């Protein structure tokens, strides 16, 4: 199954680069009762990196609605007290993205299906795994007041 997912991911990236695709996405910063942040590791793309969960925003869908849906689809977790904390622009994989960050809390334990995600776990914001993505580190550092956003994801 993994080779098919990797192939589909690479083909989609190339198609996006060819047509100059612009996407709207959401990332979710979900905290548990101990203040730890939920990170996921995908089975495709940069599968070596821990990232904030998230995904695409559907046509006519609000960022918070997309965050609630994506978090539930990827991890089985509900997001409470959800709020948009910012919007960033990104250029990656041949496309231009507008990314909204939604923050909230969850009391749920992540459950993964093993198809899209390899792992999902909570980490203290001041002790992220060494393999946390650079963008994830930037957002967490901004949240902790250790840096200021430059507007780029």
Q: Helices then strands (H, E): number in the chain?
A: 3, 6
Give the pLDDT confidence of 114-123 residue by residue, as tens digits. 788 999 999 9
Q: Cβ–Cβ contacts within 10 Å for residue 14, how many?
A: 11
How far apart CA 56 and CA 6 sit, in angstroms, is 18
Per-residue pLDDT band for 144 (boundaries 50, 70, 90) equals confident
For residue 23, being part of any structural domain is answered with yes
Range of the domain at 101: 2-143
- Summarize pLDDT for 50-80 with one digit per residue, the tens: 999 999 999 999 999 999 999 999 999 999 9
**Burial category of 77 from C-beta neighbours within 10 Å (exposed 0-12, middle 13-18, buried 19 and up):** buried
Residue 51 lies in a domain: yes
Please report whether residue 8 resides in a domain: yes
Per-residue pLDDT for 45 more than 90?
A: no
Domain count of the chain? 1
Answer yes or no: is 139 within a domain: yes
And the tokens for 146? 């250790």
């Amino acid at each position: 199954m993994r080779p098919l997912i990797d192939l589909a991911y690479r083909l989609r990236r190339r198609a996006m680069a060819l047509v100059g695709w612009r996407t709207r996405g959401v990332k979710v910063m979900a905290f548990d009762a101990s203040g730890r942040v939920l990170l996921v590791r995908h089975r495709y793309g940069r599968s070596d990196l821990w990232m904030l969960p998230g995904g695409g925003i559907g046509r006519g869908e609000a960022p918070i609605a997309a965050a609630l849906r994506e978090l539930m689809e990827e991890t089985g977790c509900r997001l409470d007290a959800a709020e948009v904390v910012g919007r960033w622009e990104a250029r990656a994989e041949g496309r231009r993205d507008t990314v909204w960050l939604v923050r909230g809390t969850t009391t749920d334990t992540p459950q993964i299906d093993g198809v899209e995600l390899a792992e999902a776990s909570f980490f203290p914001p001041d002790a992220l795994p060494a393999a946390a993505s650079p963008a994830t580190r930037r957002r967490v550092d901004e949240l902790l007041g250790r840096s200021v956003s430059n507007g780029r994801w």
